[in-house]
Amino acid sequence: MMHLMTHLTTVAAFIGMLIILVFVHELGHFAVAVWMKIRVEEFGIGYPPRALTLFEHKGVKYTLNWLPLGGFVRFAGEDSSVYGAGSLAEAKPWHKIPVMLAGPLMNLLLALVIFAALFAVVGIEQQTGRGQYISVVFKDTPAEQAGLRTGDILVSLNHESVMEEGSITRIGHQNAGETIAAVIIRDEQKRSLSITPGTWTAPDGSKLEAGFGFQYGPEKTYEPVGLPGAIGASFLHTGDLVFRTVTGFGKMVGGLLRVSEPVEGGLVGPIGIARATGEVIEQSGLMGFLNWMAILSIMLFVINLLPIPALDGGHILFALIELVRGGKRIPPEKEAIVNAISFLTLMGLIFIVSWVM
């Protein structure tokens, strides 16, 4: 029963988060389109087929659709060969581009607001430099057998500092099957333990070699700041995450094309994100959930600006081509075909990543 409630909570949190992220994104498109006097016929959460029409206001239908993987704003003239006055298709490229940019920028703004609120309430995160905080010790693992506990601060392994990224994994592989010394801080007192890195089974059933069996991260403290400091920290943190997302995506593409090392963990689809959402809630509660939502909002900002047809970046690309051609647009039927093929390809990729990989 407890597992069922946990799964239901995860699903509800994931769908709720997705609705918020999509609503904010599409609200950006919608608001700028109305400002540009571009007629909108439908504001949809999820992808068709349509589940129900929530309400209709000033000629705009607000709908809920069956596929909870995104959302859309349907402009006048779409799904028709005749484009009426005020439709997006007939709009000038310098009107189309702000409309398409508005969605991703709203996701960026959402991340900024969430981070600013978190920093204002919790404070700015600072690493203590003492060691790695052990957040979970899995059962039947070398870590449990050695006596490690959740809440311990791991200072060193085999007389080496563990503050360098990847050092714990490296030490585990170098000393597989050998008993080594571990220094921890527990109840503000240093203690020495002996641990033997080896094979252990993760909660998902996968076998890991030469490991320890615990989750960890740098020990942190939080420094209180006022609202101006929280806003400034939010801009810096968001900028850093945008940079990391862009470079991480570049590495992922390089790995897929075999021009660089594959990114550890590979691609993750909606199901993987839903699982991660449940883990974040279980480990970090509401604050962790909000932080995770802001990170995903940044990912949506970056991904949607990619110059791929069917994404906002693809529509911006078509508008730029139209601008370069002196206002002569690509034939609507050809643009629609390219967008349809790209959309089906993206849906197929999501299916493969979620169910096959």
In a domain, 290, yes or no: yes
341 and 273 share one domain: yes
User: Which of 223, 251, 276 is the last residue before a domain boundary?
Assistant: 223
Give the count of beta carbons closer than 10 Å to the beta carbon of residue 335: 18
Q: Write the pLDDT tens digit of every residue in 27-44.
A: 999 999 889 888 889 988
Check: CB of residue 70 under 8 Å from CB of residue 46: yes
234 and 211 share one domain: no
d(CA 154, CA 186): 9
275 and 349 share one domain: yes
208 and 117 share one domain: no
In a domain, 6, yes or no: yes
Per-residue pLDDT tens listing for the chain (357 residues): 555 556 777 778 888 888 889 889 989 999 998 898 888 899 888 888 899 999 998 888 999 888 876 678 888 766 544 334 456 777 788 888 999 999 999 999 999 999 999 999 999 988 889 999 998 899 999 999 999 999 999 999 999 999 998 899 999 999 999 999 999 999 999 999 999 999 888 877 778 888 899 989 899 888 999 999 999 999 999 999 999 888 887 776 666 566 555 544 455 555 666 677 777 777 778 888 999 999 999 998 998 898 887 788 888 888 888 888 876 776 666 666 666 666 666 555 555 444 444
Q: Write the pLDDT tens digit of every residue in 225-280.
A: 999 999 999 999 999 999 988 888 777 666 656 655 554 445 555 566 667 777 77
Q: Give the H/E segment covering residue 345.
A: helix 332-355
244 and 165 share one domain: no
pTM (predicted TM-score): 0.72
- Domain total for the chain? 2
Contacts of 342 (CB under 8 A, 6+ apart): 308, 309, 310, 311, 314
One-letter amino acid for residue 172 of the chain: G
Burial bucket for residue 95 (CB in 10 Å: 0-12, 13-18, 19+): middle
Strands 198-201 and 207-211: antiparallel
Phi, psi of 210 (to 5 degrees): 50, 40
The Cα angle at residue 315 between residues 348 and 37, in degrees rounded to 5: 130
Q: Which domain holds residue 188?
A: 127-223
User: Which of 164, 190, 223 is the last residue before a domain boundary?
Assistant: 223
In a domain, 101, yes or no: yes
User: Which of 223, 242, 277 is the last residue before a domain boundary?
Assistant: 223
299 and 329 share one domain: yes
279 and 206 share one domain: no
